Amino acid sequence: MNVSFTLIAAVVGFMIAIQFQTVKKPDERDTRDVWQLRAALLKEKELQSNLLGEIRSNEEKISAYESERKQSKEQVLRDTLQELKMEAGLTEISGPGITLKIEPVIEDIKLGAPVTTVVSPELLKRLLNELNMYEAKYLAIDGQRIINTTVIRDINRETKIDGHTLKNLPIEVKVGVDTINTAEKLSNRMKVSKARDEFFTESLRLTVSEANPVVTIPAYENPIRIKYMEPIKEGGGS
C-alpha cells in the first residue's frame, strides 16, 4: 500500500509544485528611491536630447543633398529621361482628347448570321493613320497604348495589338492631343471622316465623342526591344 501511496503522493507534490510555479508571478519590486528615479529620468532625457539632435542633423543633411541635387546636372538628365519616356509612350498620360467607340451595328444583326466581333487590322490601321493625320499624339486601343513599334495584325482570325487580342466589342479608342482646341478640331474632323463609312461597311459603328478635357491614356506595358539600334561611340563622328 505504502509504495503506491508514496508514488502518488510524490506525483501530487510534483503537480502542486508546477502549478505553484506557473501561477506565481515573478515579483521584482521597484525599490529605487526618489533620487535614484531622478537620476534614471535624467539619463533618459539626455538620451532623448541626443536622439533629437541626431534627427535634426540628419534632416539637415537630407535637405542639403536635396538642394544640391536640384542644382546638379543630374536633375536635367532626369528631366530629359522623363521627357523621352513620355515620348516613347512609357508613361501614363492624362490630357485633353477624345474617345472613339467601336461597336457592332445593332440594326444590321441578322437572324442566324454571326454578329461581327472582329475589327480587321486594316480598318484599325486606317483609323490610326487618319487620327495621326489630324494631329493625334497619344493613342490607346482597348487599353493598349500604341507606340511607334506597335504591330496590329491578324493571327488566326483574331486581331492582335502587340499580342493583346481584341475580342469583345465595343472597343474604346482613346486619343490624346496637346490642347483642348486641337481635341475639338479632331472630334469634328472624325465625325465627318471616311472612317465611319468604312467601319459601317463592316457592320461596325464608330462613335466619336466630344472633346474631353481629361482623357487618361495608359502607359505601354511591354518592354521595348531595340534590335537594330546602337548608341554612337563617343568620339567617333560620322
Partner 1 sequence: MWLPFVGLIIGIILGLLTEIRIPEEYSNYLSIAVLAALDTLFGGIRAYLQNIYDDKVFVSGFFFNIILAASLAFLGVHLGVDLYLAAVFAFGVRLFQNIAVIRRIILTKWSPNKEKVEKN
Binding stretches for partner 1 (CB under 8 A): 1-2, 4-23
- Tell me how far, at minimum, the Cβ of 94 lies from partner 1, in Å: 56
- Choose between 14 and 65: whose C-beta lies nearer to partner 1: 14
- Choose between 27 and 66: whose C-beta lies nearer to partner 1: 27
Provide DSSP, 83-135: HHHHHHT-S-EEEEEEEEEEEE-GGG--TTSPPP----HHHHHHHHHHHHHTT
- Tell me how far, at minimum, the Cβ of 56 lies from partner 1, in Å: 45
- Tell me how far, at minimum, the Cβ of 27 lies from partner 1, in Å: 15
- Tell me how far, at minimum, the Cβ of 24 lies from partner 1, in Å: 9
Hey, how many other C-beta atoms are within 10 angstroms of the C-beta on 37?
A: 11
With residue 139 as reference, give the H or E element that holds it.
strand 138-141
- Choose between 5 and 35: whose C-beta lies nearer to partner 1: 5
- Choose between 24 and 225: whose C-beta lies nearer to partner 1: 24
- DSSP code of 202? T
Q: All 3 cell numbers of residue 134?
A: 489630324
- Tell me how far, at minimum, the Cβ of 28 lies from partner 1, in Å: 17
Q: All 3 cell numbers of residue 113?
A: 448570321
Q: All 3 cell numbers of residue 191?
A: 465625325
Angle, CA of 136, 139 and 145, to the nearest 5° = 160
- Choose between 8 and 77: whose C-beta lies nearer to partner 1: 8
